[in-house]
Structures are given as C-alpha cells and as structure tokens.
Amino acid sequence: MTSKQRAYLRGLASTQDAILSLGKEGLTPEFTKSVEDALAARELIKISIQKNCLLDPREVADILAERLHAHPVQVIGRRFVLYRQGKDKNRKIVLPS
C-alpha cells in the first residue's frame, strides 16, 4: 500500500465512528470474527480500545491485520483503522493508483 493510498483511507476514516470496541477480554476468537465480518461488509473499519484493556493499540492493529490479511491504516491514541480490499463484486472503496 502506498502512502497516497494510506492518506486517502485516513481521510475516509476520519468521518467514521468506531464500530467495534476491544475490552478487558482482549483478542478473543469472537472479537476476531467480529472484525472479520465488519471488514467483509465495509472494507474500512475503525476500532477503539477501552481503558481497561491492557493491550497496546499498535500491537492489536498489527496482530489483527496479520490474522485477517488486512492493512493497518492508522493508529491514533486508543483507536486504529484497518482496511481490507473486498472481493471484486463487493468492492466499495477504489484506491487511487
């Protein structure tokens, strides 16, 4: 992913609210499945980490990106953005080249 594409995705994510919230349970298989479903439906999602979660947001973003074959777009504070390109017929976001 190029820096231009990442900047484009950051711009799209700036208007979104976090749709998932990671709590003290941490990265459970259920939470990972929720992220998988959200990426399949939206391609670009924002996730927040609650204060009672002891995990580092950067580490969580990297772990989820690796598990789900996604790209970590941005980490700011206790929020991060993930992107995974949809299938051809379900593609909602067209990245600049």
Write the DSSP string, the chain.
--HHHHHHHHHHHTTPPP-EEE-TT-S-HHHHHHHHHHHHHHSEEEEEE-TT--S-HHHHHHHHHHHHT-EEEEEETTEEEEE-PPPGGG-------
* pLDDT recorded at residue 77: 94
* pLDDT recorded at residue 94: 81
Altogether, the residues listed in the chain come to a count of: 97
* pLDDT recorded at residue 75: 96
3-85: what fold?
Translation Initiation Factor IF3 (3.30.110)
Q: In what order do the strands lie in the sheet containing 71-76?
A: 20-22, 44-49, 79-83, 71-76
| Mean pLDDT for back-to-back runs of 10 residues, the chain (97 residues) | 92 94 92 94 94 92 95 95 84 83
Sign, CA torsion 62/87/14/8: positive
